Structure 1
Amino acid sequence: MRYEDFQFLLFDHRPDGVLMVTLNRPEALNATNRRMHWELTQVWGVADADPAVKVIVVTGAGDRAFSAGGDLTMVEDMANDQATTLQVMREASDIVYNMLACEKPIVSAINGVAVGAGLAVALLADVSIMAEEARLTDGHTRLGVSAGDHAAIVWPLLCGMAKAKYYLMTAEFIGGQEAERIGLVTFCTPRAEVLSKALAIAASLARGSQTAIRATKKSLNNWMRLAGPTFDNSLALEMLCFLGPDVQEGLAALRGKRAPDFPSARLPRA
Protein backbone atom coordinates (compact mmCIF):
# COMPACT_ATOMS: atom_id res chain seq x y z
CA MET A 1 0.00 0.00 0.00
CA ARG A 2 1.03 3.57 -0.76
CA TYR A 3 -0.55 6.67 0.74
CA GLU A 4 -2.27 7.45 -2.56
CA ASP A 5 -3.96 4.03 -2.54
CA PHE A 6 -6.15 4.89 0.45
CA GLN A 7 -9.65 6.03 -0.43
CA PHE A 8 -11.10 7.04 2.94
CA LEU A 9 -8.02 8.21 4.85
CA LEU A 10 -6.42 11.59 4.21
CA PHE A 11 -2.74 12.27 4.96
CA ASP A 12 -0.93 15.46 5.92
CA HIS A 13 2.85 15.02 6.11
CA ARG A 14 4.24 17.70 8.40
CA PRO A 15 7.86 18.87 8.27
CA ASP A 16 8.47 17.91 11.93
CA GLY A 17 7.91 14.21 11.18
CA VAL A 18 4.27 14.17 12.30
CA LEU A 19 1.84 12.39 9.99
CA MET A 20 -1.78 13.45 10.41
CA VAL A 21 -4.29 10.78 9.37
CA THR A 22 -7.91 11.86 8.95
CA LEU A 23 -10.82 9.41 8.77
CA ASN A 24 -12.67 10.91 5.84
CA ARG A 25 -16.35 10.04 5.47
CA PRO A 26 -17.85 13.18 7.03
CA GLU A 27 -21.19 12.68 5.29
CA ALA A 28 -21.52 9.41 7.28
CA LEU A 29 -19.96 10.76 10.51
CA ASN A 30 -16.78 8.91 9.45
CA ALA A 31 -18.45 5.53 9.97
CA THR A 32 -16.36 2.65 8.66
CA ASN A 33 -17.60 1.04 5.48
CA ARG A 34 -15.96 -2.16 4.22
CA ARG A 35 -13.14 -0.30 2.46
CA MET A 36 -12.32 2.05 5.35
CA HIS A 37 -12.39 -0.81 7.84
CA TRP A 38 -9.80 -2.64 5.74
CA GLU A 39 -7.74 0.54 5.29
CA LEU A 40 -7.53 0.84 9.09
CA THR A 41 -5.72 -2.50 9.13
CA GLN A 42 -3.13 -1.26 6.64
CA VAL A 43 -2.30 2.33 7.56
CA TRP A 44 -0.21 1.56 10.66
CA GLY A 45 2.24 -0.63 8.76
CA VAL A 46 2.56 1.93 5.95
CA ALA A 47 3.33 4.75 8.40
CA ASP A 48 5.62 2.54 10.47
CA ALA A 49 7.70 1.74 7.38
CA ASP A 50 7.97 5.40 6.32
CA PRO A 51 11.31 6.86 7.51
CA ALA A 52 9.90 10.39 7.25
CA VAL A 53 7.25 9.64 9.92
CA LYS A 54 8.08 9.85 13.62
CA VAL A 55 4.62 10.24 15.17
CA ILE A 56 1.07 9.62 13.89
CA VAL A 57 -1.93 11.80 14.78
CA VAL A 58 -5.34 10.38 13.88
CA THR A 59 -8.62 12.35 13.86
CA GLY A 60 -11.99 12.51 12.10
CA ALA A 61 -13.08 14.81 9.28
CA GLY A 62 -15.54 17.55 10.19
CA ASP A 63 -16.47 18.73 13.66
CA ARG A 64 -19.21 16.25 14.55
CA ALA A 65 -17.53 12.86 14.76
CA PHE A 66 -14.27 11.02 15.15
CA SER A 67 -16.05 7.93 13.85
CA ALA A 68 -19.60 6.73 14.37
CA GLY A 69 -18.56 3.06 14.29
CA GLY A 70 -19.44 0.52 11.65
CA ASP A 71 -21.63 1.58 8.75
CA LEU A 72 -25.04 -0.07 9.21
CA THR A 73 -24.85 -1.54 5.71
CA MET A 74 -21.64 -3.33 6.67
CA VAL A 75 -23.25 -4.53 9.90
CA GLU A 76 -26.25 -5.81 7.94
CA ASP A 77 -23.94 -7.70 5.57
CA MET A 78 -22.26 -9.33 8.56
CA ALA A 79 -25.57 -10.39 10.05
CA ASN A 80 -26.57 -12.09 6.80
CA ASP A 81 -23.36 -13.63 5.54
CA GLN A 82 -20.85 -15.79 7.43
CA ALA A 83 -18.01 -15.09 4.98
CA THR A 84 -18.39 -11.34 5.53
CA THR A 85 -18.47 -11.87 9.29
CA LEU A 86 -15.25 -13.91 9.20
CA GLN A 87 -13.53 -11.28 7.02
CA VAL A 88 -14.53 -8.45 9.37
CA MET A 89 -13.37 -10.56 12.32
CA ARG A 90 -9.91 -10.89 10.77
CA GLU A 91 -9.79 -7.16 10.07
CA ALA A 92 -10.93 -6.23 13.59
CA SER A 93 -8.12 -8.36 14.96
CA ASP A 94 -5.63 -6.80 12.54
CA ILE A 95 -6.59 -3.25 13.54
CA VAL A 96 -5.78 -4.00 17.18
CA TYR A 97 -2.61 -6.01 16.68
CA ASN A 98 -1.26 -3.76 13.92
CA MET A 99 -1.70 -0.69 16.13
CA LEU A 100 0.14 -2.49 18.93
CA ALA A 101 2.89 -3.53 16.52
CA CYS A 102 3.39 -0.01 15.14
CA GLU A 103 6.60 1.20 16.81
CA LYS A 104 5.84 4.87 16.30
CA PRO A 105 3.67 6.74 18.82
CA ILE A 106 0.04 7.24 17.86
CA VAL A 107 -1.94 10.22 19.20
CA SER A 108 -5.72 10.38 18.75
CA ALA A 109 -7.60 13.68 18.54
CA ILE A 110 -11.16 12.64 19.42
CA ASN A 111 -13.02 15.62 18.03
CA GLY A 112 -16.54 14.17 18.17
CA VAL A 113 -18.55 11.01 18.76
CA ALA A 114 -16.51 7.80 18.78
CA VAL A 115 -18.17 4.38 18.58
CA GLY A 116 -17.26 0.80 17.67
CA ALA A 117 -14.36 0.35 15.27
CA GLY A 118 -13.63 4.08 15.35
CA LEU A 119 -13.45 3.96 19.12
CA ALA A 120 -10.93 1.12 18.88
CA VAL A 121 -8.58 3.42 16.98
CA ALA A 122 -9.22 6.30 19.39
CA LEU A 123 -8.51 4.33 22.57
CA LEU A 124 -5.68 2.13 21.31
CA ALA A 125 -3.69 5.27 20.54
CA ASP A 126 -0.76 5.80 22.92
CA VAL A 127 -2.04 9.27 23.86
CA SER A 128 -5.69 10.28 23.48
CA ILE A 129 -7.09 13.83 23.50
CA MET A 130 -10.88 14.08 23.72
CA ALA A 131 -13.15 17.08 23.27
CA GLU A 132 -15.26 18.01 26.28
CA GLU A 133 -18.28 18.06 23.98
CA ALA A 134 -17.54 14.66 22.44
CA ARG A 135 -19.14 11.40 23.54
CA LEU A 136 -18.00 7.83 23.20
CA THR A 137 -19.47 4.39 23.70
CA ASP A 138 -18.41 0.89 22.75
CA GLY A 139 -22.01 0.48 21.67
CA HIS A 140 -22.00 -3.22 20.89
CA THR A 141 -24.66 -4.32 23.37
CA ARG A 142 -27.03 -1.67 21.94
CA LEU A 143 -26.81 -3.62 18.70
CA GLY A 144 -27.30 -6.99 20.37
CA VAL A 145 -23.70 -8.21 20.11
CA SER A 146 -21.07 -8.60 22.79
CA ALA A 147 -18.30 -6.06 23.31
CA GLY A 148 -15.50 -6.97 20.93
CA ASP A 149 -13.16 -5.06 18.61
CA HIS A 150 -10.83 -3.71 21.30
CA ALA A 151 -12.71 -3.48 24.57
CA ALA A 152 -11.49 -6.60 26.39
CA ILE A 153 -7.84 -5.90 25.63
CA VAL A 154 -7.66 -2.29 26.78
CA TRP A 155 -10.66 -0.97 28.78
CA PRO A 156 -9.81 -2.80 32.05
CA LEU A 157 -6.25 -1.45 31.81
CA LEU A 158 -7.39 2.10 31.13
CA CYS A 159 -10.28 2.58 33.54
CA GLY A 160 -10.36 -0.53 35.76
CA MET A 161 -12.63 -3.56 35.68
CA ALA A 162 -15.54 -2.00 37.60
CA LYS A 163 -15.99 0.89 35.19
CA ALA A 164 -15.18 -1.28 32.16
CA LYS A 165 -17.89 -3.81 33.04
CA TYR A 166 -20.50 -1.13 33.68
CA TYR A 167 -19.94 0.93 30.54
CA LEU A 168 -19.40 -2.06 28.23
CA MET A 169 -22.50 -3.91 29.44
CA THR A 170 -24.77 -0.85 29.44
CA ALA A 171 -23.26 0.86 26.36
CA GLU A 172 -23.92 4.21 28.03
CA PHE A 173 -22.30 7.22 26.40
CA ILE A 174 -19.37 8.83 28.23
CA GLY A 175 -18.55 12.53 27.89
CA GLY A 176 -15.04 13.92 27.63
CA GLN A 177 -14.67 15.02 31.24
CA GLU A 178 -15.87 11.69 32.62
CA ALA A 179 -13.66 9.77 30.18
CA GLU A 180 -10.63 11.66 31.46
CA ARG A 181 -11.71 11.29 35.10
CA ILE A 182 -11.87 7.50 34.91
CA GLY A 183 -8.68 7.23 32.87
CA LEU A 184 -10.25 6.13 29.59
CA VAL A 185 -8.55 8.99 27.73
CA THR A 186 -5.35 10.90 28.49
CA PHE A 187 -6.66 14.48 28.33
CA CYS A 188 -9.96 16.31 27.84
CA THR A 189 -10.00 19.81 26.33
CA PRO A 190 -12.51 22.14 24.66
CA ARG A 191 -13.25 20.98 21.12
CA ALA A 192 -11.41 23.92 19.55
CA GLU A 193 -8.19 22.88 21.27
CA VAL A 194 -8.25 19.12 20.64
CA LEU A 195 -6.27 18.98 17.42
CA SER A 196 -3.78 21.67 18.43
CA LYS A 197 -3.03 19.85 21.70
CA ALA A 198 -2.69 16.52 19.88
CA LEU A 199 -0.29 18.06 17.35
CA ALA A 200 1.71 19.76 20.12
CA ILE A 201 2.14 16.46 21.97
CA ALA A 202 3.07 14.74 18.71
CA ALA A 203 5.66 17.42 17.93
CA SER A 204 7.15 17.00 21.39
CA LEU A 205 7.38 13.24 20.89
CA ALA A 206 8.96 13.79 17.47
CA ARG A 207 11.74 15.85 19.10
CA GLY A 208 12.52 13.15 21.65
CA SER A 209 14.78 10.12 21.46
CA GLN A 210 13.01 7.92 18.94
CA THR A 211 14.76 4.75 20.10
CA ALA A 212 13.83 5.40 23.73
CA ILE A 213 10.22 6.39 23.01
CA ARG A 214 9.59 3.43 20.73
CA ALA A 215 11.16 0.99 23.17
CA THR A 216 9.01 2.40 25.97
CA LYS A 217 5.86 1.98 23.87
CA LYS A 218 6.84 -1.57 22.98
CA SER A 219 7.45 -2.49 26.63
CA LEU A 220 4.17 -1.02 27.86
CA ASN A 221 2.19 -2.62 25.05
CA ASN A 222 3.17 -6.01 26.46
CA TRP A 223 0.48 -5.47 29.13
CA MET A 224 -2.08 -5.52 26.32
CA ARG A 225 -0.38 -8.45 24.62
CA LEU A 226 -0.87 -10.43 27.85
CA ALA A 227 -4.60 -9.90 27.32
CA GLY A 228 -4.39 -11.17 23.74
CA PRO A 229 -6.17 -14.50 24.43
CA THR A 230 -8.96 -12.62 26.22
CA PHE A 231 -9.32 -10.28 23.24
CA ASP A 232 -9.31 -13.15 20.74
CA ASN A 233 -12.09 -14.88 22.69
CA SER A 234 -14.14 -11.68 22.95
CA LEU A 235 -13.86 -11.13 19.21
CA ALA A 236 -15.05 -14.68 18.47
CA LEU A 237 -18.02 -14.29 20.82
CA GLU A 238 -18.90 -10.95 19.21
CA MET A 239 -18.98 -12.56 15.77
CA LEU A 240 -21.16 -15.41 17.03
CA CYS A 241 -23.64 -12.80 18.22
CA PHE A 242 -23.76 -11.34 14.71
CA LEU A 243 -25.21 -14.65 13.53
CA GLY A 244 -28.02 -14.63 16.12
CA PRO A 245 -31.51 -13.07 16.23
CA ASP A 246 -30.76 -10.17 18.60
CA VAL A 247 -28.63 -8.32 16.05
CA GLN A 248 -31.52 -8.28 13.57
CA GLU A 249 -33.68 -6.53 16.16
CA GLY A 250 -30.78 -4.24 17.10
CA LEU A 251 -30.35 -3.20 13.48
CA ALA A 252 -34.09 -2.59 13.04
CA ALA A 253 -34.15 -0.49 16.22
CA LEU A 254 -31.19 1.61 15.12
CA ARG A 255 -32.69 2.20 11.69
CA GLY A 256 -36.07 3.00 13.23
CA LYS A 257 -34.51 5.18 15.96
CA ARG A 258 -36.40 3.30 18.66
CA ALA A 259 -35.59 1.21 21.70
CA PRO A 260 -34.81 -2.43 20.84
CA ASP A 261 -36.94 -5.39 21.95
CA PHE A 262 -34.30 -8.11 21.96
CA PRO A 263 -35.62 -11.69 21.68
CA SER A 264 -33.15 -12.83 24.35
CA ALA A 265 -34.59 -10.29 26.82
CA ARG A 266 -38.19 -11.51 26.55
CA LEU A 267 -39.50 -13.55 29.43
CA PRO A 268 -40.49 -17.12 28.57
CA ARG A 269 -44.19 -17.76 28.24
CA ALA A 270 -45.83 -19.59 31.09
Structure 2
Amino acid sequence: MSAPLRVERRDGVAILTLDRAEHGNAIDVAMADALLATALDCAGDPTVRAVILTGAGAMFCAGGDVAAFAAAGDAAPALMHRLTAPLHAAITRLAHMDAPLVTAINGAAAGAGFGLAMLGDIALAARSAKFATAYGAIGLTPDAGTTWLLPRLVGLRHAQRLALAGERIDAEEAARIGLVTRVVDDADLMGEAMTVAQRLARSSRTALRTTRDLLWSSSDTGLETHLAREADAIASAAGRPDGREGIAAFVEKRRPVFA
Protein backbone atom coordinates (compact mmCIF):
# COMPACT_ATOMS: atom_id res chain seq x y z
CA MET A 1 0.00 0.00 0.00
CA SER A 2 1.38 3.42 -0.96
CA ALA A 3 1.87 6.15 1.63
CA PRO A 4 -1.08 8.56 1.88
CA LEU A 5 1.24 11.59 2.08
CA ARG A 6 4.26 12.27 -0.12
CA VAL A 7 7.05 14.48 1.25
CA GLU A 8 9.75 16.14 -0.83
CA ARG A 9 12.38 18.60 0.39
CA ARG A 10 13.91 21.14 -1.95
CA ASP A 11 16.01 24.22 -1.16
CA GLY A 12 14.65 24.63 2.38
CA VAL A 13 11.05 23.96 1.28
CA ALA A 14 9.08 20.87 2.33
CA ILE A 15 6.41 19.91 -0.21
CA LEU A 16 3.60 17.84 1.30
CA THR A 17 1.29 16.13 -1.20
CA LEU A 18 -1.94 14.47 -0.10
CA ASP A 19 -1.69 11.25 -2.10
CA ARG A 20 -4.93 9.31 -2.30
CA ALA A 21 -5.84 10.60 -5.74
CA GLU A 22 -8.05 7.59 -6.51
CA HIS A 23 -10.21 8.64 -3.53
CA GLY A 24 -10.09 12.39 -4.17
CA ASN A 25 -7.38 12.66 -1.49
CA ALA A 26 -10.06 12.00 1.11
CA ILE A 27 -8.65 11.96 4.63
CA ASP A 28 -8.64 8.60 6.37
CA VAL A 29 -6.95 7.70 9.65
CA ALA A 30 -3.69 6.79 7.93
CA MET A 31 -3.52 10.15 6.16
CA ALA A 32 -4.38 12.07 9.34
CA ASP A 33 -1.65 10.21 11.23
CA ALA A 34 0.85 10.86 8.42
CA LEU A 35 -0.05 14.55 8.29
CA LEU A 36 0.53 14.92 12.04
CA ALA A 37 3.85 13.04 11.95
CA THR A 38 5.04 15.16 9.02
CA ALA A 39 3.88 18.43 10.59
CA LEU A 40 5.80 17.58 13.75
CA ASP A 41 8.86 16.68 11.69
CA CYS A 42 8.74 19.95 9.73
CA ALA A 43 8.17 21.99 12.89
CA GLY A 44 11.16 20.41 14.59
CA ASP A 45 13.56 20.71 11.65
CA PRO A 46 15.33 24.10 11.42
CA THR A 47 16.34 23.38 7.81
CA VAL A 48 12.65 23.53 6.79
CA ARG A 49 12.05 27.21 6.18
CA ALA A 50 8.71 26.99 4.33
CA VAL A 51 6.09 24.31 3.67
CA ILE A 52 3.82 23.74 0.66
CA LEU A 53 0.64 21.64 1.03
CA THR A 54 -1.05 20.39 -2.15
CA GLY A 55 -2.94 17.38 -3.50
CA ALA A 56 -2.17 14.68 -6.05
CA GLY A 57 -4.27 14.32 -9.16
CA ALA A 58 -7.27 16.45 -10.05
CA MET A 59 -8.49 17.30 -6.54
CA PHE A 60 -6.94 19.08 -3.59
CA CYS A 61 -8.94 17.20 -0.95
CA ALA A 62 -12.49 15.87 -0.92
CA GLY A 63 -12.66 16.02 2.89
CA GLY A 64 -13.08 13.06 5.21
CA ASP A 65 -13.36 9.52 3.87
CA VAL A 66 -17.15 9.22 3.82
CA ALA A 67 -16.97 5.59 2.65
CA ALA A 68 -15.06 4.75 5.83
CA PHE A 69 -17.67 6.58 7.91
CA ALA A 70 -20.42 4.51 6.31
CA ALA A 71 -18.51 1.25 6.81
CA ALA A 72 -18.00 2.06 10.50
CA GLY A 73 -21.75 1.95 11.18
CA ASP A 74 -22.46 2.43 14.90
CA ALA A 75 -18.74 2.96 15.49
CA ALA A 76 -18.74 6.12 13.34
CA PRO A 77 -18.58 8.51 16.34
CA ALA A 78 -15.47 6.72 17.66
CA LEU A 79 -13.95 6.82 14.18
CA MET A 80 -14.61 10.57 13.98
CA HIS A 81 -12.67 11.12 17.21
CA ARG A 82 -9.87 8.85 16.01
CA LEU A 83 -9.63 10.83 12.76
CA THR A 84 -10.03 14.38 14.05
CA ALA A 85 -7.55 13.97 16.92
CA PRO A 86 -4.44 13.69 14.70
CA LEU A 87 -5.90 15.91 11.98
CA HIS A 88 -6.59 18.78 14.37
CA ALA A 89 -3.22 18.32 16.07
CA ALA A 90 -1.59 18.54 12.64
CA ILE A 91 -3.51 21.73 11.84
CA THR A 92 -2.40 23.29 15.12
CA ARG A 93 1.23 22.41 14.44
CA LEU A 94 1.10 23.69 10.84
CA ALA A 95 -0.46 26.94 12.07
CA HIS A 96 2.13 27.57 14.78
CA MET A 97 5.38 26.13 13.45
CA ASP A 98 8.24 28.49 12.63
CA ALA A 99 8.03 27.84 8.87
CA PRO A 100 5.21 29.60 6.98
CA LEU A 101 2.68 27.49 5.06
CA VAL A 102 1.70 27.87 1.39
CA THR A 103 -1.38 25.95 0.22
CA ALA A 104 -1.43 25.12 -3.49
CA ILE A 105 -5.08 24.26 -4.10
CA ASN A 106 -4.95 22.24 -7.30
CA GLY A 107 -8.63 21.32 -7.57
CA ALA A 108 -11.79 20.87 -5.53
CA ALA A 109 -11.50 21.50 -1.78
CA ALA A 110 -14.44 20.23 0.27
CA GLY A 111 -15.14 19.40 3.89
CA ALA A 112 -11.90 19.08 5.83
CA GLY A 113 -10.10 19.89 2.58
CA PHE A 114 -11.80 23.28 2.67
CA GLY A 115 -10.27 23.87 6.12
CA LEU A 116 -6.82 22.76 4.99
CA ALA A 117 -7.00 25.02 1.93
CA MET A 118 -7.71 28.07 4.10
CA LEU A 119 -4.88 27.26 6.49
CA GLY A 120 -2.12 28.60 4.25
CA ASP A 121 -0.46 31.89 5.14
CA ILE A 122 -0.48 32.25 1.37
CA ALA A 123 -3.30 30.30 -0.31
CA LEU A 124 -2.90 29.90 -4.08
CA ALA A 125 -5.87 28.46 -5.98
CA ALA A 126 -5.69 26.90 -9.42
CA ARG A 127 -8.19 28.49 -11.77
CA SER A 128 -10.08 25.18 -11.87
CA ALA A 129 -10.39 24.95 -8.06
CA LYS A 130 -13.82 24.77 -6.45
CA PHE A 131 -14.72 25.25 -2.80
CA ALA A 132 -17.56 23.84 -0.69
CA THR A 133 -17.94 23.10 3.00
CA ALA A 134 -20.18 20.16 1.99
CA TYR A 135 -20.98 19.01 5.53
CA GLY A 136 -24.70 19.78 5.52
CA ALA A 137 -25.29 17.58 2.48
CA ILE A 138 -24.33 14.52 4.55
CA GLY A 139 -25.79 15.67 7.86
CA LEU A 140 -22.45 16.49 9.51
CA THR A 141 -20.89 19.60 11.02
CA PRO A 142 -17.59 21.29 10.07
CA ASP A 143 -14.18 20.28 11.35
CA ALA A 144 -10.54 21.03 10.43
CA GLY A 145 -10.82 24.55 11.82
CA THR A 146 -13.41 25.59 9.25
CA THR A 147 -15.73 27.50 11.59
CA TRP A 148 -12.77 29.27 13.23
CA LEU A 149 -10.92 30.26 10.06
CA LEU A 150 -13.82 31.00 7.73
CA PRO A 151 -15.44 34.01 9.50
CA ARG A 152 -11.99 35.47 10.22
CA LEU A 153 -11.09 35.36 6.53
CA VAL A 154 -14.35 36.29 4.80
CA GLY A 155 -16.63 37.76 7.50
CA LEU A 156 -19.69 36.27 9.16
CA ARG A 157 -22.15 36.78 6.30
CA HIS A 158 -20.04 34.95 3.72
CA ALA A 159 -19.22 32.30 6.33
CA GLN A 160 -22.93 31.72 6.96
CA ARG A 161 -23.80 31.23 3.30
CA LEU A 162 -20.86 28.89 2.76
CA ALA A 163 -21.18 26.86 5.97
CA LEU A 164 -24.96 26.87 6.45
CA ALA A 165 -26.38 27.19 2.94
CA GLY A 166 -23.54 25.08 1.55
CA GLU A 167 -22.93 27.28 -1.48
CA ARG A 168 -20.19 26.14 -3.83
CA ILE A 169 -17.86 28.81 -5.20
CA ASP A 170 -15.15 28.91 -7.81
CA ALA A 171 -11.59 30.14 -7.46
CA GLU A 172 -12.33 33.66 -8.69
CA GLU A 173 -15.04 34.21 -6.09
CA ALA A 174 -12.85 32.63 -3.42
CA ALA A 175 -10.19 35.25 -4.17
CA ARG A 176 -12.74 38.07 -4.33
CA ILE A 177 -14.08 37.39 -0.82
CA GLY A 178 -10.65 36.72 0.69
CA LEU A 179 -10.89 32.95 1.10
CA VAL A 180 -7.67 32.54 -0.91
CA THR A 181 -4.79 34.89 -1.67
CA ARG A 182 -4.99 34.75 -5.45
CA VAL A 183 -5.82 32.61 -8.48
CA VAL A 184 -3.13 31.03 -10.66
CA ASP A 185 -3.43 29.23 -13.99
CA ASP A 186 -3.48 25.48 -13.40
CA ALA A 187 -0.23 24.86 -15.27
CA ASP A 188 1.56 27.53 -13.23
CA LEU A 189 0.30 26.59 -9.77
CA MET A 190 3.20 24.56 -8.40
CA GLY A 191 5.80 26.80 -9.99
CA GLU A 192 4.21 29.86 -8.37
CA ALA A 193 3.83 28.04 -5.03
CA MET A 194 7.54 27.16 -5.12
CA THR A 195 8.49 30.75 -6.00
CA VAL A 196 6.44 32.08 -3.06
CA ALA A 197 7.79 29.43 -0.68
CA GLN A 198 11.40 30.09 -1.65
CA ARG A 199 10.89 33.82 -1.13
CA LEU A 200 9.53 33.08 2.35
CA ALA A 201 12.39 30.65 2.99
CA ARG A 202 14.90 33.44 2.45
CA SER A 203 13.26 35.51 5.18
CA SER A 204 14.04 35.34 8.90
CA ARG A 205 12.48 32.16 10.26
CA THR A 206 12.14 33.60 13.76
CA ALA A 207 10.60 36.86 12.53
CA LEU A 208 8.07 34.98 10.39
CA ARG A 209 7.14 32.72 13.31
CA THR A 210 6.49 35.69 15.58
CA THR A 211 4.55 37.54 12.87
CA ARG A 212 2.38 34.47 12.28
CA ASP A 213 1.62 34.27 16.01
CA LEU A 214 0.74 37.97 16.14
CA LEU A 215 -1.64 37.63 13.22
CA TRP A 216 -3.28 34.49 14.62
CA SER A 217 -3.89 36.17 18.00
CA SER A 218 -4.95 39.60 16.70
CA SER A 219 -8.69 38.96 16.67
CA ASP A 220 -8.71 37.57 20.21
CA THR A 221 -7.03 40.49 22.02
CA GLY A 222 -7.77 44.13 22.65
CA LEU A 223 -5.76 46.87 20.94
CA GLU A 224 -3.67 47.86 23.94
CA THR A 225 -2.78 44.24 24.76
CA HIS A 226 -1.85 43.57 21.18
CA LEU A 227 0.25 46.74 20.91
CA ALA A 228 2.18 45.58 23.98
CA ARG A 229 2.76 42.20 22.32
CA GLU A 230 3.99 43.91 19.16
CA ALA A 231 6.35 46.14 21.16
CA ASP A 232 7.83 43.16 23.01
CA ALA A 233 8.12 41.18 19.78
CA ILE A 234 9.95 43.85 17.77
CA ALA A 235 12.28 44.64 20.67
CA SER A 236 13.12 40.96 20.99
CA ALA A 237 13.63 40.63 17.23
CA ALA A 238 16.03 43.59 17.19
CA GLY A 239 18.27 41.77 19.65
CA ARG A 240 18.42 38.48 17.75
CA PRO A 241 21.07 37.66 15.11
CA ASP A 242 18.47 37.84 12.32
CA GLY A 243 17.35 41.28 13.42
CA ARG A 244 20.89 42.59 13.62
CA GLU A 245 21.69 41.11 10.20
CA GLY A 246 18.55 42.57 8.64
CA ILE A 247 19.24 46.05 9.98
CA ALA A 248 22.88 45.92 8.88
CA ALA A 249 21.94 44.70 5.41
CA PHE A 250 19.42 47.49 4.98
CA VAL A 251 21.97 50.14 5.93
CA GLU A 252 24.61 48.54 3.70
CA LYS A 253 22.14 48.22 0.79
CA ARG A 254 22.56 44.46 0.36
CA ARG A 255 20.36 41.38 0.64
CA PRO A 256 20.36 39.97 4.20
CA VAL A 257 21.57 36.44 4.85
CA PHE A 258 19.56 35.04 7.73
CA ALA A 259 20.78 32.15 9.86
1:9 aligned onto 2:25: no
How many Å apart are 1:150 and its aligned residue?
1.4
Aligned-residue CA RMSD (Å): 1.9
Residues 92-241 of structure 1 mapped to structure 2, 5 A cutoff: 92-223=87-218
- Partners in 2 of 1:112 and 1:173 — Cα distance? 13
Q: Tell me if 1:69 matches 2:63.
A: yes
1:18 to 13, 17, 30: 13
Q: 2:25 aligns with which of 30, 33, 39?
A: 30
Residues 22 and 224 (structure 1 numbering): CA distance in 2 closer, same or farther, change over 3 Å? farther
Distance 1:89-1:22 versus aligned 2 partners, 3 A rule: closer
C-alpha separation between the residues in 1 aligned to 2:91 and 2:122? 15
User: Is contact 1:154–1:224 with CA below 8 Å preserved after alignment?
Assistant: no
Give the Cα–Cα distance (whole angstroms) in 2 for the partners of residues 61 and 140 of structure 1. 23
User: Quick one: which amino acid aligns to residue 137 of structure 1?
Assistant: A
Q: CA deviation at 1:80?
A: 2.2
CA separation of 1:177 and 1:159: change in aligned 2, threshold 3 A = same
- Report the structure number with the largest CA radius of gyration: 2
Mapped to 2, the partners of 1:110 and 1:124 lie a distance apart of 11
Residue deviations 1:96-128 (CA, integer Å, cap 9, x gap): 322222221010000101112222221111110
Q: Distance in 1 between matches of 2:73 and 2:123?
A: 32
Distance 1:37 1:77, change over 3 A: farther
Cα 1:163/1:68, change in 2 over 3 Å: same
Whether the aligned pair in 2 keeps the contact of 1:112 and 1:131 (CA below 8 Å) is yes
Identity, % of aligned positions: 31
| Shift in CA distance, 135/224, structure 1 to aligned 2, threshold 3 Å | farther
Q: C-alpha separation between the residues in 2 aligned to 1:74 and 1:91? A: 16
Q: Cα distance, 1:143 vs. partner?
A: 1.0
Provide the rounded CA distance (Å) in 1 between the counterparts of 2:72 and 2:33.
14
Residues 144-153 or 81-90, more deviating: 81-90
Cα distance in structure 2, aligned partners of 1:220 and 1:109: 21
- One-letter amino acid of the counterpart of residue 45, structure 1: L
The count of aligned residue pairs is 219
Amino acid at match of 1:10: R
**What SS class does the counterpart of residue 170 from structure 1 fall into?**
coil
Cα distance in 2, alignment partners of residues 218 and 124 from structure 1: 13
**1:83 equivalent in alignment to 2:78:** yes
Segments of 5+ residues of structure 2 without an aligned counterpart are 222-259
- Give the 3-state SS of the residue equivalent to 1:142 in structure 2: helix
Confirm or deny that 1:58 pairs with 2:53.
yes
The answer to whether the 8 Å contact 2:96/2:209 transfers is no
8 Å Cα contact 1:78/1:85 also seen in 2: no
TM-score between both structures, scaled by the size of structure 1: 0.76
